Amino acid sequence: MTDFAAARRMMVDGQVRTADVTDPRLLAAMLALPRELFLPGDKIALAYLDLDLPVTEAGLPVRRLLKPMVLGKLLQVAEVTDTDRVLDVGCATGYSTALLSRLAGSVVGLEEDKVLAQHANEALSRLGAANAKVVTGPLTRGWPEEAPYDLVVLQGSSEVVPTVLLKQLKNGGRLACVLGRGPAAKAMLYRMIEGELSTRAVFDAAAAPLPGFSQPAQFVF
């Protein structure tokens, strides 16, 4: 039988701390949060591996949780505070939403797959995460119903700058995502200040693509 507490400690010490993630609040949250709750039964044993973890059933389009190292570094760069209102885009089964709930004031997880969203809400309920919920809708639309947000995080890569989501930021708000495709992708931090957007590439990071965020096909003569 898997010792999940020991596996969680190994994940944090061997994957996250070694990637220069030093934020004590973030490390404590990752140590405490049972990642196995966010996986279908046949994948629970994979919960703490160093990979983008598939969470969809066989035969369905594959969706994945970000690997722990990439998620940890992305959230550290985002500088989540305990008063932030966060939109977590492409949250899948809700691990990232639950993690953010331990760092932020409130979190809205957005997921377009209803089965994944149900799993996420059930897991959040089991954990008693009263400041977090998961809603269902197209990822590319964001969730303007509760905008503006202090922080928007994408749980997968985008090949295009997510302009619609940037418009849902407060003045001074941040958006953290992986931009690009494959090994050339970069983790990016955007900040909206008085209608002006600042952009910073923060580290190299590959991630599974999010639905709807692909580069439009270009016509070739």
Query: Is pLDDT at 218 greater than 80 in this prediction?
Result: no
Amino acid symbol at 42: D
Contact 137, 154 (CB under 8 A): no
More confident position, 218 or 198: 198
What is the residue-averaged pLDDT of the chain?
94
Give the pLDDT mean for 131-147. Answer: 98
Give a yes or no: residue 165 inside a domain: yes
User: How confident is the model over 141-171, as pLDDT tens digits?
Assistant: 999 999 999 999 999 999 999 999 999 999 9
User: How confident is the model over 70-128, as pLDDT tens digits?
Assistant: 999 999 999 999 999 999 999 999 999 999 999 999 999 999 999 999 999 999 999 99
Which of 30, 47, 153, 149 has the alpha carbon at shortest distance from 91? 153
pTM, two decimals, is 0.95
CB neighbourhood size of 206 (10 A): 17
31 Cβ neighbours under 8 A, 6+ residues apart: 8, 9, 12
User: How confident is the model over 38-76, as pLDDT tens digits?
Assistant: 999 889 999 999 999 999 876 667 899 999 999 999 999
Tokens matching residue 83: 């008063």
Give a yes or no: residue 110 inside a domain: yes
Give a yes or no: residue 153 inside a domain: yes
Give a yes or no: residue 212 inside a domain: no
Would you give the DSSP letter of residue 128?
T
Contact 203, 186 (CB under 8 A): yes
Tokens matching residue 69: 């190292």
The number of distinct structural domains making up the chain is 1
Report the CATH number that the domain containing residue 86 is assigned in CATH. 3.40.50.150
Give a yes or no: residue 133 inside a domain: yes
The SS3 of residue 160 is: coil
**Domain with 192 in it:** 4-204
Handedness of CA 96, 97, 103, 104 (dihedral sign): positive
Tokens matching residue 211: 């639905």
Give a yes or no: residue 170 inside a domain: yes
Query: In Å, how far are 101, 164, 171 from 139, measured between CA atoms?
Result: 20, 10, 22
Give a yes or no: residue 89 inside a domain: yes
Give a yes or no: residue 210 inside a domain: no
